[in-house]
Amino acid sequence: MSTYDRNTEGLALVHQFADEVKGRTFLLTGPSPGGIGAETVISLAAESPALLILVGRSPEKVQTVIDSIKNVNPSVKTKFVQADLSSIKSVRKAAQTILDDPEIAKIDVVINNAAVMATPFELTEDKIELQLHANHLGHFILTNKIAPKVVAAGPGARIVNLSSSGHRYAGVRFEDPNFTEPGSYSEFTSYGQSKSANILYAVALNKRLAARGVRAYAVHPGSILTNLQHYVKQMDGARLAALMDEAAQKVAGKTLAEYRAADPHKTLQQGCSTTLRAALDPDLVEEEGVFLQDTKLTTDPKAVRDWATDPELAEKLWKLSEDLVGEKFDI
């Protein structure tokens, strides 16, 4: 495949990079049925990975994805690890389960896919704003704790964070990440903060791991109709229309109608392709950038905001994240 674009499909990339799939171990969070994560691991199964580790909340829901994997390739081994990414205790337990498992000697690719979007204001049991916790901090703890097994995979290992064009809506609110200021919370400002954090986290990981051959990327998969829109669908119609128009202006400088005309919804196969290129393409390291959309790396400031790629802000986020979760990480 000589070119990549918004129509590139995930399964085509899995076949193209079959040597980067066969015999390797992949970990993915958020493998919900009908979502991008499920489509990603089901596609990977076609070229015989050694192990697919699926991290999610519901064993019953993930079992349907495991069944789909087995339908594609009965020889692929799977492991389910239960975790609620919005609970520090739950994520620490999941990470320890992975570290203690002798069958998981190494992890070649970590795909931090799980997310919530545009939730009503909520603090988790750890007194952290929900979207920042579930979308960034849960992955921050999990990935940092299992980093020894990623490093053990040797040069070529990857960490892929699912971000969004929504990061263009807002950067990280370093002075008030939990929206304690009265009236400061809005669903998309919170989502934008968490998605900017996903990119900054990849920048910070590269500073720490690139010299050991591990590279981190953040990806915008595109707009795909999945359960991610659960909370959006529950909003009052008039308020939703106003919020979506405002979001389209901030993210793309267009009305929602103009945005949709220029960037229509993708299929699940188109949606998982950007993740899979970030995870598999060995030549990506020769290109500049940390952020991919439409299956291509880009440094275009219209596509990826400076507040999401600035190395100093990445270090500031690392420290803020350690403070919020109450744990230091030296990886």
Q: How far apart are CA 130 and CA 135, in angstroms?
A: 8
E strand or H helix that includes residue 29: strand 25-29
Q: Counting beta carbons within 10 angstroms of the beta carbon of residue 122, is it exposed (0 to 12), middle (13 to 18) or buried (19 or more)?
A: middle
Q: How far apart are CA 63 and CA 66, in angstroms?
A: 5
Residue closest to 135 by CA, chosen among 95, 177, 97, 104: 177
> Is 185 designated active site?
yes
Q: How far apart are CA 67 and CA 188, in angstroms?
A: 35
| Single-letter amino acid, residue 84 | D
Set 4, 169, 185, 217: catalytic member: 185
Q: How far apart are CA 213 and CA 201, in angstroms?
A: 17
Active site residues: 185
